[in-house]
Structure 1
């Protein structure tokens, strides 16, 4: 694959419920610490999906870099954000998974964050928003709740999470970020608690999910969506 510029962000959708043979092949590409983390997960479905998400991400990133997936190594930032060792300045990525899908965002020379979330029935969205979100967003969540639209809360949540991931920060630092607006918006923290700014875009995902991507700075970027499949 060709090198990426900061003006483009590739979003790869990975279906996590793949055949057992494909999962086994991807498991061979994982590092020892990834295997240890996987082994500690309590449910077989969680372990399969973890391998699928991490293994497929290694394959995709390896293609950008022209490297075998098993040879990629990570380093982490202050709050645990993973980066590719020796390539963090030229290729930036973010991985998120929820339910049966994962999203991998990849760009060049620009910090990026992606988040995908599946709606959990019974979640007290209004109470959560009332406690943590800015006033305008609390009202939006209440309106969405009255109309039976859980996506209203998820859209706001994934936008905040994407910014936090792009910043390499902790989630608690981004809960009050003002992210209400259209499908593309510039976000910054007026309190200065989370320094920086991000250009945020919603990402199309299946019904029952919401997703957003955030790239550092205010410069525009083109979004390219692709689906990854085993042996593709």
Structure 2
């Protein structure tokens, strides 16, 4: 039986409307468990359950399950809903129109919100916002190989910035700042990495942010406000929202370490 999109209860719709009016974004951070929590499994849909079973590493499966269950619990807590009744799906890809790999969305109940998710080693991040789009990306900090300094996905200015830094933690952090800013933007755009020439996406890593990042695809140019979120030690996180009023509201952080 096909799922039908339904309106949200009045309280949830009112909260969503207030969030949109203030241009808010909410970002949740979790440290995933080493093993799948059985309490999370009933919150997954059939396809998510199958995907979790297909992951060969228990740690990866546990992180995937926690991210999907955690997203429902976050939405439920924010809007006063039952997490077991929430249905997550995807928006159509803006590049090809395929509904199987577009940005995530809340299907049931309907609320005028945009969503984004990210997972990395030891971290899950989920973002909810007002406006037309939102993108979040997290990357666990790790040593950067010298070859990465000439990566074609970096702009000339980004390569010069990294080359001017001494090898070590400062350079590693700056590289991951660049990468999370790029990924946050392409997630917000909805095209993903394959739909973007990353080497043309200038992230201004020398600036602490927020920064304005310009994205162009097939002649269409969009502008994004991108900021770094210090949610946890050892993890770089960036949030992208459309440049303009939708990116001027506060960002509320919900960290569960």
Offset, 1:210: 0.8
1:59 paired to 2:81? no
SS at the partner of 2:119?
strand
Specify whether residues 54 and 190 from structure 1 end up closer, same or farther in structure 2 by C-alpha distance, changes over 3 A only.
closer
**1:9-28 pair list within 5 angstroms:** 9-17=25-33, 23-28=37-42
1:133 paired to 2:154? yes
What TM-score do you get using the length of structure 2 for normalisation? 0.78
Specify whether residues 171 and 66 from structure 1 end up closer, same or farther in structure 2 by C-alpha distance, changes over 3 A only.
same
Offset, 1:55: 0.6
Alpha-carbon distance between aligned partners in 2 of 1:13 and 1:193, rounded to the nearest angstrom = 35
Worse-superposed segment, 204-213 or 159-168: 204-213
Aligned length: 225
CA RMSD of aligned residues (A): 2.4
Specify whether residues 29 and 223 from structure 1 end up closer, same or farther in structure 2 by C-alpha distance, changes over 3 A only.
same
For 2:122, the equivalent position in structure 1 comes to 100
Offset, 1:110: 3.3
Alpha-carbon distance between aligned partners in 2 of 1:72 and 1:170, rounded to the nearest angstrom = 25
Alpha-carbon distance between aligned partners in 2 of 1:215 and 1:189, rounded to the nearest angstrom = 12
For 1:225, the equivalent position in structure 2 comes to 253
Asked whether the 8 Å contact 2:42–2:84 carries over to 1, the reply is yes
What TM-score do you get using the length of structure 1 for normalisation? 0.86
Deviations 1:15-56 (A, max 9, x none): 212786xx2111110000001111111111111111111111
Deviations 1:174-209 (A, max 9, x none): 512111133201211367656321111110033322
SS at the partner of 1:196?
strand
Asked whether the 8 Å contact 2:85–2:108 carries over to 1, the reply is no
